[in-house]
Chain A
Amino acid sequence: DQQVKQNSPSLSVQEGRISILNCDYTNSMFDYFLWYKKYPAEGPTFLISISSIKDKNEDGRFTVFLNKSAKHLSLHIVPSQPGDSAVYFCAASEVKGGSEKLVFGKGTKLTVNP
């Protein structure tokens, strides 16, 4: 059963507009959330993260919002650029019995059209 869900397999936006990628999780024990970005034929690269004690974290054009009560987070990219076209993975950390893991969603493919 998927604990981290990205329900939109793909998203297409125009250059300069806002991209909003969504992620839902089911495990209330998750306390740290991350977004990774992946280009074809490359490994994922860390983009931005947020702790469960916060509801917003911003880094340049990228902002992550966390709604703990709804078990929902989103990544906003403003303004979107063609170079942002990639697959974005949402991930959550789970600390259980001393084991630290990252649980990933299936990813959302973002296409930014010029």
Chain B
Amino acid sequence: DAGVIQSPRHEVTEMGQEVTLRCKPISGHDYLFWYRQTMMRGLELLIYFNNNVPIDDSGMPEDRFSAKMPNASFSTLKIQPSEPRDSAVYFCASSLAGQGAIDTQYFGPGTRLTVL
């Protein structure tokens, strides 16, 4: 299996622009998680889906952030408009219920976002 795929790997944009991060989970997995890693806050959960349905979005920092999962094989995290403080590494992870959604989260390589 190719693992969790994220694109782009690096994104540099200017303040005010819209940014879309993409994730393809491992085939067959029914949980999908979006995380953000910063020096100040470490690794924090933004939102997660179960069977394409958002379950908990309490970690989404502001209305500028939105996430969708239109089908089992694709999810997006959108920031509109972007701000310099959004600069971070964004990780997507997926897991399969029954194997323990908690301890078998497989992470993608991350997208490093820089907002100038």
Contacts and interface: CB of A to CB of B under 8 A. Distances in A.
Interface of A: 2, 32, 34, 41-46, 49, 89, 93, 98-107
A105 B107 contact: no
Q: Is the interface on chain B under 10, 10 to 19, 20 to 34, or 35 or more residues? A: 20 to 34
Task: Give the interface centre of A44, A45, A103 by most chain B CB atoms within 10 Å.
Answer: A44
Contacts, number: 56
Contact of A102 (B45, B58, B109, B110): B45
Nearest to A49: B103
30 contacts: A2-B42, A32-B103, A34-B102, A34-B103, A41-B109, A42-B109, A42-B110, A43-B93, A43-B109, A44-B43, A44-B91, A44-B107, A46-B103, A46-B104, A46-B106, A49-B103, A89-B42, A89-B43, A93-B102, A99-B55, A99-B56, A100-B101, A101-B45, A101-B48, A102-B33, A102-B102, A103-B45, A104-B44, A106-B41, A106-B42
